[in-house]
Structure 1
């Protein structure tokens, strides 16, 4: 390779990385998501921008591996039992949506004047949503593991499967039905079945022993290479069989989902997945043919609007018929309204079979790309189309309230604390503002009242005048402080026992004069550290001495910080010195308080939980 060619390759590589590094953070900062940033960057550096790349299809073929790796990681999260539990969504919901949307878009194409075969292939190509874009948006929103997200994934899996019969239909529509071609089609079906069976057999009997042998070698780079080999090998097996590469990678992930090497595989694949998926979006942006758009902009714009609107309508109707609520149906329609990367494959096959002309293929491809680019904006528009979710409300009914202890906040901290009181027969009135938590607590026999502890009327209704102790177990510092101030102002004689967030919060509570405070992680951290020493074989007497010394030191520092007005300590700090046999006194003379303050400020600490 010549030096000039090498320099050109390096310029293109730097351009790809630079475009992503610049465009994606800007897009993310504007609230548009990462996908739109990648697409815009690809358009800028592509053939119709700065012309740093003239053949985006070559990059697209490599970048499709990003989608393959993404599906492999999704497969690792889908155990066979979990996938089996989704069979209703995959072959029920997914199939219903594909058929309904396919019928609507085919009818639209026929109404627009296309021949039935052209209208069918054009519409079905648009039915196949973009797995890469939808999965990226779901991941950014943190919805991949939610029930609604799982239903979207099920639909995407069915659409990936649908590419196989659609390609067979294209071959059938494009052929003249000769005996040789019919024999070839049957042979292709047998090869596809054989490839699928071989992949399942390899995943069941070969992969785990292979990774066990490689793990014993203890060469990290070999394990990474093996992970890539499994993913790309599975994709190749499916491609040879005429199936989807992404589906092969997904199946390989499912077969390894119960392997003890699952987490290692995911860690090895993740960096490659992220880079290649970004490259895929960049190459899609480069592939947008602005020349075709300039010549047929009215037709393409109308096609994008009509196809997306009609497909969204079909998705919404199917979702509502299958018992989804309005918000989930709207979200699903926005996520899946676009065409996807498998449409490129289907349209290219249709052009090769003579069903499409080159110009029609270019126009439909541009329609798909524009719909993909619009998807992040459509999803963002849901903020205005859907009302913000409001927490479920319960009636504030305090009939029977008024125990000796009023507990405000009944989360994980409050529930454990309440068990001590209830074990002694102490009457506890618990209030919380989380409706779902209240329902969950009622299933275990706890009576928790719905109410906001920062409201004076709620405190009176909960019987605070009859309470000896108010236990404030809320988990937000600002809420806790507001409740403390309200109670001290209106009910100054009630005892306040308060859950503290960290050391700084403890100092503020001590300044307010609460009767008792406890950092939420302090005792569990002491117990954890003691258990770790026990696991290392340290004698129990020694562990007890260390614990006592650390408690005394911590109390002394806290007293010194309180006396010195050091209220800025936002971390739970412990000494890093070796244990001293004699503990420091709990009462700290004033002359030593500054030294202890200095020690507390300089001590190495980890952030509070």
Structure 2
């Protein structure tokens, strides 16, 4: 018995690891997202694919998934890790800045789409409780697939993130409401929801307090050991512990994972944690996508292709129209609204959870649930294609400013970011006769900068050949001005790897972030908090009667002192890693 179980588990592991080893490099080579590859693998090796032939050809059991339900915990863990890494890319400050989008745009998108789909389904003959369940289930969009495609820093990514965050928050209330509407609920669902909400509030508050105190100390101890294994163990401990804490009181585990990520994002160790967790997130997400593929029965699709096609097209078109319209009403560009609407059109992995809850509560029939599960699986499969379609339509609706090749006799300084800080640097370079070019992925900023006479061009410095076309190989310096710590570190690391001799000057949020940028390869990292403190000191000293000359000299001395400390801290933290990766290994 144990031997059979071990063989089954080993066969499943072989399929999963083989899929990851084949799908990712093959699809990446042809510039196709691996999402489609994992789903196709799931279709092929699932119970409706080659799994049907196991009885006639027993050897197929070694290359098929013998127990799809056994993979579900791993798939759920992939979603948890995804939300954790999203939290790492955010911060409480940035989340607070997005509150209007999350609770404004996000709430409107979910409520309008859910209620209007429910009305349409009720008019088609579905009982009103089942129509509500289906409407809100289909209103969800896929966090697991959309965010890796859109990112979180572009206008499309920010809009998608705000809507997806609200949807993730609303999962638990919606599932409880469905339970309360069940024919045999008798009000217990409402009582359960109230209990979960106040207990969940206490748990979230406890996580915030304990996390702010304990996490810096935990990761500091792990960092002192210089052991990647211990750092990984600490990261997994935090994300699993926070997820369990929220799930115990009835909240979704992804809420705990998101909070854990936000808390670690406030520490100096978030870059290291993100790098360590990335491979595990990708593999677990691949398992989730394989389980989605295994739920697709091609025979059922073939026999019901017309109603399924109508349902898929109707849901996608309606969601894209409503989402795009809401974004336009809130001031988004036509291109951003069109691309975001189409990207957010397909249903979600959460749709499958809500459908299961509605079926368990006897609000919809099993056959109805199966039909919409197939629609959802197809929607998830074609999400990468929708993303590509959205980009094409966005360019047709409102062509973005094109990235032009820059041809200067003297190579320009490249300023990444055309906001307030980037423009001030451009003014200083211009005042001293030094050529520059600013690049930003926000088309509105670029248009505003051009109107005011700045030399700026549209492009995403983190992707494609944008920096090459700007002449980074000849540029005397690159200046990073964005107020996004994770993105700044990634770009610094990428630029240093590709251009070892390039002068890289980076804006840092504080001294800890500056040290991280030095570790990533920055030539100079300038912390905002330090410079503002020095300027305040200069102002007060001069105004109380101290001579300007000694004040300026002391300011320069203090600046050099702090900079030396930051550079030393970055070097000390970085050198052990170099030894580990070379001599010790």
| TM-score bucket of the superposed structures, by smaller chain | 0.5 to 0.7
Q: Is the 8 A contact 2:311 2:375 kept in 1?
A: yes
Whether 1:87 aligns to 2:95 is no
Q: Which residue of structure 2 aligns with residue 115 of structure 1?
A: 127
Partner of 1:244: 252
Question: 1:15 maps to what in 2?
Answer: 15
1:38 aligned partner: 38
Match of 1:60 among 57, 72, 75: 72
Structure 2 distance, partners of 1:417, 1:319, is 32
Q: Residue 391 of structure 1: which of 395, 401, 410 is its match?
A: 401
| Cα drift, residue 50 of structure 1 | 1.6
- For residues 334 and 56 of structure 1, the distance between their equivalents in structure 2, rounded to whole angstroms, comes to 31
Contact kept, 8 Å, 1:19 with 1:45, in 2: the verdict is no
| Aligned partner (choices 365, 374, 377) of residue 369 of structure 1 | 377
Q: Verify: 1:137 aligned to 2:137, yes or no.
A: no
Is residue 224 from structure 1 mapped to residue 232 from structure 2 by the alignment? yes
Closer/same/farther in 2, CA of residues 310 and 8 from structure 1, 3 Å limit? same
Superposition map of 1:253-332 within 5 A: 253-332=261-340
Q: 1:63 to 1:118 in 2, by over 3 A?
A: same
Query: In 1, distance between residues paired with 2:363 and 2:230?
Result: 47
Q: Is it true that 1:167 corresponds to 2:170 in the alignment? A: no
Q: CA deviation at 1:177?
A: 5.5
Aligned-pair CA distance for 1:260: 2.2
CA contact (8 A) 1:104 1:310 kept: no
Match of 1:349 among 353, 357, 363: 357
Residues 235, 521 of structure 1: CA spacing in aligned structure 2 closer, same or farther, 3 A cutoff? closer
What secondary structure sits across from 2:395 in the alignment? coil
CA distance in 2, matches of 1:441, 1:296: 54
Structure 2 unpaired stretches of 5+: 52-63, 416-423, 458-466, 478-498, 505-517, 523-585
Give, in whole Å, the separation in 2 of the partners of 1:267 and 1:71: 15
Going from structure 1 to structure 2, the CA distance change for 1:21 and 1:103 (only over 3 Å counts) comes to: same
2:211, 2:438 → 1: CA distance? 49
The answer on 1:358 being equivalent to 2:370 is no
Between the aligned partners of 2:3 and 2:502, the Cα distance in structure 1 is 66
**CA–CA separation in structure 2 for the residues paired with 1:350 and 1:417:** 57
Offset at 1:499?
7.7
Paired with 1:430 and 1:220, the residues of 2 have a C-alpha distance of 43
CA shift digits 1:224-258 (9 cap, x unpaired): 11210111111112222222222210111112211
**CA separation of 1:433 and 1:132: change in aligned 2, threshold 3 A:** closer
SS in 2 for 1:121: helix
TM-score by length of 1: 0.65
Alignment partners' CA distance in 2, 1:320 and 1:421: 36
Name the SS for the 2:359 alignment partner: helix
1:261 and 1:429 map into 2 onto residues whose CA distance is 37
Matches of 1:68 and 1:264, distance apart in 2: 18
- Partner SS, residue 309 of structure 2: helix
In structure 1, C-alpha distance between the alignment counterparts of 2:148 and 2:403, rounded to whole Å = 33
Aligned-residue offset at 1:298: 2.9
Change (3 A) 1:448 1:81: closer
Q: Output the TM-score relative to the length of structure 2.
A: 0.67
Q: In the alignment, which residue of structure 2 is the partner of 1:515?
A: none
Q: Can you list the C-alpha shifts for 1:277-307, whole angstroms capped at 9, x where unaligned?
A: 1111111111223454345433322211111
How far apart in 2 are the matches of 1:102 and 1:209? Answer: 44
Tell whether the 8 Å contact from 1:104 to 1:311 is kept in structure 2 after alignment: no
In 2: Cα distance, 1:499 partner to 1:346 partner: 53
Which SS does the other structure have where 1:387 is aligned? helix
Aligned match of 1:98: 110
Question: What secondary structure sits across from 1:174 in the alignment?
Answer: coil
Task: Give the equivalent residue in structure 1 for 2:140.
Answer: 128
**Distance in 1 between the 2:500 and 2:5 partners?**
60
Quote how far apart the aligned CAs of 1:182 are.
5.2
Kept in 1, the 8 Å contact 2:324–2:337? The answer is yes
Once the two structures are TM-superposed, the CA of residue 68 in structure 1 deviates from its matched residue by 0.7
Q: Deviations over 1:351-375 (max 9, x none)?
A: 1111122211111111111111111
* Cα pair distance change 1:165/1:416, threshold 3 Å: closer
Partner in structure 2 of residue 6 of structure 1: 6
CA contact (8 A) 1:47 1:53 kept: yes
For residues 157 and 53 of structure 1, the distance between their equivalents in structure 2, rounded to whole angstroms, comes to 32
2:470 and 2:273 mapped to 1: Cα distance? 42
Output the CA distance in 2 between the equivalents of 1:363 and 1:305: 14
Residue 573 of structure 1 corresponds to none
Once residues 294 and 2 of structure 2 are traced to their aligned partners in structure 1, the CA distance between those partners, rounded to angstroms, is 26
Deviations 1:504-542 (Å, cap 9, x if unpaired)?
A: xxxxxxxxxxxxxxxx997969xx9xxx9xxxxxxxxxx
> 1: distance between equivalents of 2:364 and 2:293?
23
**Cα distance in 1 between the residues matched to 2:81 and 2:317:** 31
Q: CA–CA distance in 2 between the matches of 1:213 and 1:152?
A: 37
Contact 2:324 2:341 in 1 (8 A): yes
Q: Aligned pair in 2 of structure 1 residues 442, 430: CA closer, same or farther (>3 Å)?
A: farther
Deviation at 1:105, TM superposition (A): 1.2
Structure 1 distance, partners of 2:309, 2:447, is 51
Per-residue Cα deviation, 1:466-510 (whole angstroms, up to 9, x for no partner) = xxxxxxxxx979999xxxxxxxxxxxxxxxxx9899xxxxxxxxx
CA separation of 1:94/1:441 partners in 2, compared to 1, >3 Å: closer, same or farther? Answer: closer
- Measure the CA separation in 2 of the matches of 1:282 and 1:94: 29
* Residue ranges of structure 1 left out of the alignment (5+ in a row): 395-405, 452-474, 481-497, 502-519, 533-609
1:407-556 matched pairs, under 5 angstroms: 410-412=412-414
Distance 1:180 1:521, change over 3 A: closer
The 3 A distance-change label for structure 1 pair 522 and 319 is closer
